[in-house]
Structure 1
Amino acid sequence: MTLLSIQNLSLSIGITPVLHDVSFDIAAGEIVALTGESGSGKSMTALAVMQLQPEAATTTGQIKLSGADLNDLPESTLCTMRGNEFGMVFQEPATALNPLQTIGQQVAEAIQIHDIMPKATAMEQAAAMLTRVGMPQDLFPLTRYPHELSGGQRQRVVIAMAIARRPCLLIADEPTTALDVTTQARVLDLLKDLVQEFDMGLLIITHDLAVVADIADRIVVMRRGNVVEQGPTKTLLANMQHPYTRALFEASSHAVDLPPAQNDPTPILTVRNVTRDYPQPRLRMFAPRAQLRAVNNVSLEIHQGEHVGLVGESGCGKSTLTRAILGLEPVQKGTITAFGHPVGPTMPAAQRLKTQVVFQDPYSSFNPRHKVSRILAEPFYLIKAHQTGAQLERAISDVLSDVGLTSDDADKYIHEFSGGQRQRIAIARALITRPELIIFDEAVSALDVSIRAQILDLIADLSRHHTLAYLFISHDLSVVRTITDRVLVMQDGEIVEQGRTAEVFANPQHPYTQSLIEAAPVLPTIQEASHVPA
């Protein structure tokens, strides 16, 4: 039985067309994946189903849920249906949750807004729903606030809010993009179990075919607001008809042509027995303050031109170790040396030039009021380098050319660029001081697969032409496998395994490494998919 039917849906914002004759169905108990690049219209389709499109949007076509055309319903009726009949899980749970309310209050609110009941009864139902999504009260009391939870736990709270009234349709918009592989696997398993338990339809939006290859019953591929191909998952993967679908498939399993590592025996970065502790809040007045050990006795080396990966679950200590290597945080024990100089918070700015960093979200690391030229020149202002206008212009033009942009882009603002272009500008800012070591901190995790492939190729080319060494931090094992020579596996603040990337992935020795590799989504080859019955 058809639960959601979208027929010939077209949507324009002002005079700009966004969706063109989009049509697909979802049955009760069915999981449909909506996939495509950023800007393909996936999220706008979901917002149209929720009737949350921008006020300037005009819509034609039909969106029927259980036979009722949502386009014809008044807002008062839609408000009643949202949560009761259909719910939505957004990509970033930190922004979807209220930081000033406990998780119990927020799940209870999703219940009380549709049903008048005593607060105590709503909290009981909230506790039961949180337990259902894997957050029992003995471990996660209702009094917890969102900032006290990990990313995966916050996502579970958002799912609990969305299913609190047991809707017949759930829309999940990139629900696992920012999660590590083990947490991603748990969230996907949870969604699959909920579909079976509640017999609801699930529309999961993602840019990564590997994520939905096992979970989705059908796949709908979108490009530039059009549905270019759709069908049962196994059938579509085994017999892709549209060139765009094939391009997405190839980008999902893209292999980088990585230059060979250098054989310089002298390390440019040495971390020796580093320990980093954080003080915990006191449980009672005048009680001794407990210490949380985020990094425990970690040692590593990176040599010139070497490509090293660092993987591990959220909270394992990767970011803390990164801040220590950059000299942004002190360590309680151990030493960090870069290019023959000790690293620490008091090191002069000029000493940092040989080590640079590229962050996960370039947009939040740029000043939106500055043009690209000012953003790229910022390192020279910080070290008070004496550069003439002509020298700066030449350096900016050269570095933009290095990352595949043009000198004309220097006069633009950051909001004028796409996500992939912004990441290229972030890499350009790191390159402009001509460093020898770059730390990529989840630099491609928020990009769709085709843009991710371009950025990975760019990193490999820059490493080849500039003899760059880098530390590549990521939760995506498929990326680490292709972009690194050597990999370090981190768990609970310790390096539990390290070695040549190919050897570690082929024959992992530590149980934690084995669990990471087993949890990573794998896209079947065309030959494998063709031998699986639809």
Structure 2
Amino acid sequence: MSLLQIEDLNLSIHGTPVLQDVSLSIAPGQILGVIGESGSGKSMTAFAAMQLLPNGTVCSGRITLAGQDVLNMSEPELCQMRGRDVGMVFQEPMTALNPIRTIGDQVAETILIHERVSKKEALARAAEALTRAELPQDRFPLSRYPFELSGGQRQRVVIAMAIALRPKLLIADEPTTALDVTTQAQILSLLKRLVIEDQMGLMLISHDLAVVADLADDIAIMQKGRVVEAGPAATLFQTMQHPYSKALLAASAHHPDRLAEPQEQPLLTVRDVVREYRLHSNGWLGGTTTLRAVKGVSFDIKRGESLGLVGESGCGKSTLTRAILGLEPVQGGQILLDGEPVFDAKGTNRSIRRRMQVVFQDPYGSFNPRWKVRRLIAEPMYLLDQPPKGQALQDAMVEAMENVGLTADDLDKYIHEFSGGQRQRIAIARALIIKPDLIILDEAVSALDVSVRAQVLDLLADLSDRYGLTYLFISHDLSVVRSITDRVLVMQAGEIVEQGETETVFDAPQHPYTQQLIAAAPALPATDPSAELPKT
């Protein structure tokens, strides 16, 4: 017996087709992985099941949830169904949570909306839901606010909200995209445990095949609003027939070809670097303590090398990155670029700082949406003592855009007119425009679809070969680090606990923490090497 049955679903918004002949089913206690790239229709299928759709939407076909005909339900009936019969876990927990309300109140709100119970009872049940989501009250009291929690803990609060009324169906839309590998593994394990305990159905939406490969009972692959392939997870990877499915699998395990060899002399030298923060307890009038976020870190990056830096959230990766970029002072040690210090007697050495650029995780968030692309990518020029002007500036902008596979015509567009992969290419163009020696890539591909990610990694490898670029590649995605780097550093609690050639560290990790990270990383079945990357 199916819990959720979607049959021949067609959906259009203001006459534009979005879903075409979509058919899916989920039984109690079953996990269905819905895979596809951005725009494939996977999230819209989930929203259709809950009828959380924009104005101008027209649906046809049939959606049955726990015996109820969803498409023929009134809005009051749908409001009762949402939260009670079906819960939803969103991708970004910080935007799904109210920052000025306690976690206890937010979980209890779901209960108070659907049931006539006292606030005291609702809070007691909220505490129970949070405990089930592995946030016990002795460590995470109901009075906590979202900003006091880590990313993984916030996601557990969102899960607690979704399961507070023990729904029959749980929809999890990219619930682990922004999480490090160990936290991701914990969240996926938590979701599986809840499915087993409550015998609820789970629709797990993801753009990453590896995330659901070991978790889902069945997998449906979507492309352009259609289900192009579906079947049991245990056999689907061996029996794939659709070219898009094969290409998506190949893209997930893609390794760019890199021809250039690193030189022997170091470009960046980090020696015994210490970064400390002073923390105030009980407000500004209370006492202070010192947090040592980076503890005597030392390493070199050779010219032309791609060095990976991995570790869980809070290990000190971003703090170390800000110090290398001269954005935060260090309390000990030294950082040298080509033998010159990043920090001098006056603070940040600008002549050295301009030789380093950074590509951020969220390209859209790192751009001013009011500026055209030509203004955005020219921003690093202001670091120069004598920035080019007129035709020289135009030529530099055109060259940067063409280097990343875009055109001069794109200079006069706004950033919202581009896809996620194109925005990241523009971010790379901005980093390239002043021809830096070192580019720091901070989770630069973690939010991209697997095929777009593969194309961006190919682009980075090609740029490295052509211009001898040196990369510091920071990521929680170990498969990406393995595919693009020559050497890797493993960071834990502010210290480098292991380093070496990438393949050596991944094949034979020595430190228990490295072994734990690699064991937690999602694994992919064997891929078809003859498959081509999907076109975007």
TM-score normalised per structure 1: 0.96
Residue 465 of structure 2 aligns to which amino acid in structure 1?
R
Structure 1 range deviating more: 203-212 or 275-284: 275-284
The corresponding residue for 2:250 is 250
State the Cα distance separating 1:370 from its structure 2 match.
0.9
The corresponding residue for 2:323 is 324
State the Cα distance separating 1:314 from its structure 2 match.
0.7
Tell me, what secondary structure is at the counterpart of 1:259? coil
Task: Give the whole-Å Cα distance in 2 for the aligned partners of 1:262 and 1:310.
Answer: 17
Task: Give the whole-Å Cα distance in 1 for the aligned partners of 2:365 and 2:99.
Answer: 19
Residue 268 of structure 1 aligns to which amino acid in structure 2?
L
- Match runs of 1:389-468 below 5 Å: 389-468=390-469
- Match runs of 1:55-74 below 5 Å: 55-74=55-74
Tell me, what secondary structure is at the counterpart of 1:157? helix
Task: Give the whole-Å Cα distance in 1 for the aligned partners of 2:387 and 2:230.
Answer: 58
State the Cα distance separating 1:260 from its structure 2 match.
4.1
Per-residue Cα deviation, 1:443-468 (whole angstroms, up to 9, x for no partner)? 00000100000001111000000001
- Match runs of 1:161-172 below 5 Å: 161-172=161-172
Contact 1:261 1:485 in 2 (8 A): no
Q: Would you say 1:18 and 2:18 are equivalent positions? A: yes
Residue 20 of structure 1 aligns to which amino acid in structure 2?
Q
Per-residue Cα deviation, 1:295-334 (whole angstroms, up to 9, x for no partner)? 1111111111011000000111111111111111111222
- Match runs of 1:276-355 below 5 Å: 276-283=275-282, 286-344=285-343, 346-347=347-348, 349-355=350-356
Q: Would you say 1:115 and 2:85 are equivalent positions? A: no
**CA separation of 1:286 and 1:479: change in aligned 2, threshold 3 A:** same
Residue 369 of structure 2 aligns to which amino acid in structure 1?
P
Task: Give the whole-Å Cα distance in 2 for the aligned partners of 1:384 and 1:41.
Answer: 49
The corresponding residue for 2:87 is 87
State the Cα distance separating 1:526 from its structure 2 match.
5.5
Q: Would you say 1:241 and 2:226 are equivalent positions? A: no
State the Cα distance separating 1:486 from its structure 2 match.
0.4
Structure 1 range deviating more: 451-460 or 335-344: 335-344
Structure 1 range deviating more: 57-66 or 410-419: 57-66
Residue 13 of structure 1 aligns to which amino acid in structure 2?
I
Task: Give the whole-Å Cα distance in 1 for the aligned partners of 2:137 and 2:336.
Answer: 45
Aligned residues: 526
Contact 1:103 1:157 in 2 (8 A): yes
Task: Give the whole-Å Cα distance in 1 for the aligned partners of 2:385 and 2:69.
Answer: 63
State the Cα distance separating 1:348 from its structure 2 match.
5.1
Contact 1:84 1:167 in 2 (8 A): yes
**CA separation of 1:11 and 1:285: change in aligned 2, threshold 3 A:** closer
Query: Mind listing any 5+ residue stretches in structure 1 that lack a counterpart?
Result: 528-534
Residue 40 of structure 1 aligns to which amino acid in structure 2?
S
Contact 1:497 1:510 in 2 (8 A): yes
Tell me, what secondary structure is at the counterpart of 2:292? strand
Aligned-residue RMSD, C-alpha: 1.4
Task: Give the whole-Å Cα distance in 2 for the aligned partners of 1:504 and 1:85.
Answer: 46
Contact 2:342 2:349 in 1 (8 A): no
The corresponding residue for 2:501 is 500
Task: Give the whole-Å Cα distance in 2 for the aligned partners of 1:120 and 1:430.
Answer: 54
Structure 1 range deviating more: 271-280 or 246-255: 271-280
Structure 1 range deviating more: 193-202 or 326-335: 326-335
Contact 2:253 2:527 in 1 (8 A): no
The corresponding residue for 2:105 is 105
Structure 1 range deviating more: 374-383 or 280-289: 280-289
Q: Would you say 1:362 and 2:363 are equivalent positions? A: yes
The corresponding residue for 1:531 is none
Task: Give the whole-Å Cα distance in 2 for the aligned partners of 1:5 and 1:481.
Answer: 40
Structure 1 range deviating more: 357-366 or 107-116: 107-116
Q: Percent identity?
A: 63
Task: Give the whole-Å Cα distance in 2 for the aligned partners of 1:348 and 1:493.
Answer: 25
Query: Mind listing any 5+ residue stretches in structure 2 that lack a counterpart?
Result: 529-536
Contact 1:261 1:307 in 2 (8 A): no
State the Cα distance separating 1:57 from its structure 2 match.
1.5
Contact 2:280 2:287 in 1 (8 A): no
State the Cα distance separating 1:349 from its structure 2 match.
4.2
State the Cα distance separating 1:382 from its structure 2 match.
4.3
Contact 1:6 1:64 in 2 (8 A): yes
Contact 1:376 1:396 in 2 (8 A): yes
State the Cα distance separating 1:192 from its structure 2 match.
0.5
The corresponding residue for 1:510 is 511
State the Cα distance separating 1:384 from its structure 2 match.
5.3
State the Cα distance separating 1:359 from its structure 2 match.
0.1
State the Cα distance separating 1:341 from its structure 2 match.
2.7
State the Cα distance separating 1:287 from its structure 2 match.
4.2
Per-residue Cα deviation, 1:173-198 (whole angstroms, up to 9, x for no partner)? 00011111100100000001100100
Tell me, what secondary structure is at the counterpart of 2:29? coil
Residue 517 of structure 2 aligns to which amino acid in structure 1?
L
Tell me, what secondary structure is at the counterpart of 1:34? strand
**Aligned structure 1 segments of 4 or more residues deviating by more than 6 angstroms:** none
**CA separation of 1:263 and 1:349: change in aligned 2, threshold 3 A:** closer
Task: Give the whole-Å Cα distance in 2 for the aligned partners of 1:284 and 1:373.
Answer: 45
Contact 1:174 1:205 in 2 (8 A): yes
Per-residue Cα deviation, 1:358-388 (whole angstroms, up to 9, x for no partner)? 0000000001111111111111234353423
Contact 2:11 2:58 in 1 (8 A): yes
State the Cα distance separating 1:145 from its structure 2 match.
0.9
Residue 71 of structure 1 aligns to which amino acid in structure 2?
L
State the Cα distance separating 1:116 from its structure 2 match.
2.1
Q: Would you say 1:177 and 2:181 are equivalent positions? A: no
State the Cα distance separating 1:55 from its structure 2 match.
1.1
The corresponding residue for 2:531 is none
